[in-house]
Amino acid sequence: MTEHHLDYDVVIIGSGAGGGTVARELADLAEQGLRVALLDAGGRFRKRDNTRREFEMARKYYVDNGGFQTASQDMTLAFCEAVGGSTNVYTGVTFRPPERVLQKWNVPTLDLDDLEPRLEKFEQENNVHLQPPENINRNNQLFREGCERLGWEIGQFPLNIRDCAGLNTCNIGCARFAKQGTAQVQIPYAEQRGVEVIPFCRVDRISPGRVEAKIREPEHGLPPAHYPAGDYIITARKIVVAAGTLGTTPLLMRSFGKKAWPELGRWFTCHPALTLVAEHDEQVLGSQGHPKSYYCDTFVESDHFLLETCFYFPFVTSKNLVGFGPEVDELMGRMDHQQQILVLVLDKAKRENRVTIDRAGNPVVHYDIDASIRDAMIASIRAAGRLFFASGATRAHLPATGRFFTWANEVDQLDDLVRPERFRTGQVAISAAHLMGGCRMGTDPASSVTDPWGRLHGLDGIYVADASLFPDSAEVNPYLTIMALASRVADAIREDLGAA
Ligand SMILES: Cc1cc2nc3c(=O)[nH]c(=O)nc-3n(C[C@H](O)[C@H](O)[C@H](O)COP(=O)(O)OP(=O)(O)OC[C@H]3O[C@@H](n4cnc5c(N)ncnc54)[C@H](O)[C@@H]3O)c2cc1C
C-alpha cells in the first residue's frame, strides 16, 4: 500500500478533554500560521448521529461497547473513541480540583494560583452553572429529601449544559449537543482558527518528530476523513499524546518499550463505582430530566466514597443487578418507579495498579479490588440503603445481602444484612469511568514519567496532555482538571517553540 506523508508543526493525538483543550489553546498560533493537526481514532458525530438507542450508541461510541474488562474481569471501564473523546458521553458534572488533592499530588508549580484562572476560563467557556429547581427531576428530589431527613451533607452539581431538554441520554451522546464537551466548544474554536482535525486516524507509534498512523474508512455512517484511507507518516516538531489513560500509556509502550520510564503505566486510579436501585410506590420517572443534580460527601473523610444521583438506561441498569429471573423482570418492569444512586469510591493510587499492553499492543489493566475498596463499598451500600428508605423507597436491590430485595422495614438491620463475606467480586457489577494515571507528573524521572508541564522526561518535543498525568486520583469528577492541565501543557509547547 502507498505510504502517505503529511507535515505539521504540532500534532496532537487524541481530541478528548486533554487533546481538544491543547488544540484550543494553540489556536491563536494556528491563526498566525503554525500548522497544527488534531488526530483522533474515532469519527465526528453530528446531532442526528446521536439516536438515543442504547445498544446502537454504546457500539458507536464506546470501546468494547462500554464493557472493557480489567485483567481480573471484576470491573468494567467506560471510555470512548470519537472526536471529542469521552466528553461526548460525559454527564457534564464540573468540579474544580480540591486543594487537598493538589497537596497530595505534590507537583511543583501545580497549585491553585496557577490553576484558578484556567479553571475559571473553561467554566465560562463551557457554561457551567447550577440547574434551577424546576429542572430537577423526582429521582434527584428523592435523593435530596433522603439526605435532609438523615441530616447528611448535600451539594448540587455544577453542570456544563446549554439548552438542555432533559433527554437523560447524556451517557450515550446528547441529541441536542446540550452538554458542552470539546467537540461542541474547544474543537470548533480551534478549527475556525486553522487547526486541522483528522478523524478515523489511529496512531500506532511515535518517535521524536515522527508519527506513524493509519486513516481508516469511516464507520457508523459518520463523515470520512478528508484524506484517503491508508498508512501515513506524519512529521512534526512537537507531538502531544492525549489519547486518554488507556490510549496514551499503550502508545508510549508500543513506541518506546514497556520499561522506557520505570513508572510508565503505573499508579492507575479510576473511582470504582456501583449503581444501586430501589423501588417506590410513586411514579418517579427518573428517565426524564438531567440525571445528575446532587451529591452527598458526608462519607468522604471517614469511608472514602461519594454518593451521587444517577439514572441509567435499561440494559446498563439490569446488568448492574446481582441475579437473574423473575425478580429482575419485576424490578425492570417498573423502571418508571425506580430511584437510582451511584457510589464512587475515592481510590488511592497504588504502584501495582497499572496499564500495560498485550502482544498486539492493546491496553490491559491490572487493578486490585483490595480490602480498602471492598470496605468502602460495603459502607456505601449500607449508606445508600439508608438513603433509599429515608427517601421513601419500599424495597431496594442491595448487593452483598445474599438476596435480591431488602425491604423498608429492614432498614435497622442493614449492618447485619450487608456483609463483607457476601460481597463477591465478579458477581457485584463494578464499573469505572474516571480513568486516571499511568504517566504521572513530577520532577524526578525515577518516580514520574513527565515533568510538571507534561514534557516526557528525556525526550525532547513529546508531551502528554490528558488524564494520564494525574499522580493520584482526583477525588472529584476529573474533566475540568484535565483541561486545566492540558492548558499548562500548551503553555510549555509555546515556550519550547519560542525557544526553538
Ligand atoms: C459515561 C461517562 C460519564 C462521565 N461523566 C463525567 C462528568 O460528568 N464529569 C467529569 O468530570 N468527568 C466525567 N467523565 C470522565 C471524563 O469524560 C474523562 O475523564 C475525560 O474525558 C478524559 O479525558 P482524556 O483527554 O484523558 O481522554 P478522552 O476524553 O477519553 O480522549 C481520548 C481520545 O484519544 C483517542 N485515541 C486513543 N488512542 C488513540 C490513538 N492511538 N490514535 C488516535 N487517537 C486515539 C480516543 O479516540 C479519544 O477520543 C465521564 C466519563 C464517562 C465514560
Same structural domain, 70 and 189: yes
Answer whether 86 contacts ligand 1 (Cβ < 6 A): yes
Digit-coded pLDDT (tens) for 70-89 = 999 999 999 999 999 999 99
Residue 353 in any domain: the answer is: no
* Domain end position, chosen among 360, 393, 424: 424
Give nearest CA residue, ligand 1 atom 21. 86
**pLDDT value at residue 1:** 63
Residue 415 in any domain: the answer is: yes
Residue 359 in any domain: the answer is: no
Domain with 396, as residue range(s), is 130-159+273-346+370-424
As given in the structure block, the three cell numbers for residue 34 are: 503554525
Regions of the chain where pLDDT drops below 50:
none
Residue 362 in any domain: the answer is: no
Answer whether 242 contacts ligand 1 (Cβ < 6 A): yes
Residue 466 in any domain: the answer is: yes
Answer whether 181 contacts ligand 1 (Cβ < 6 A): no
**What's the predicted TM-score (pTM) here?**
0.98
- Reference 334, options 318, 316, 319; nearest CA is 318
Answer whether 486 contacts ligand 1 (Cβ < 6 A): no
Answer whether 42 contacts ligand 1 (Cβ < 6 A): yes
Give nearest CA residue, ligand 1 atom 48. 85
Residue 360 in any domain: the answer is: no
Digit-coded pLDDT (tens) for 413-461 = 999 999 999 999 999 999 999 999 999 999 999 999 999 999 999 999 9
Supply the CATH number for residue 181's domain.
3.50.50.60
How many domains would you assign to the chain? 2
Same structural domain, 146 and 209: no
As given in the structure block, the three cell numbers for residue 313 are: 438506561
**Mutation choice for ligand 1 from 90, 470, 481, CB with most ligand atoms inside 8 A:** 90
**pLDDT value at residue 324:** 84
Supply the CATH number for residue 148's domain.
3.30.410
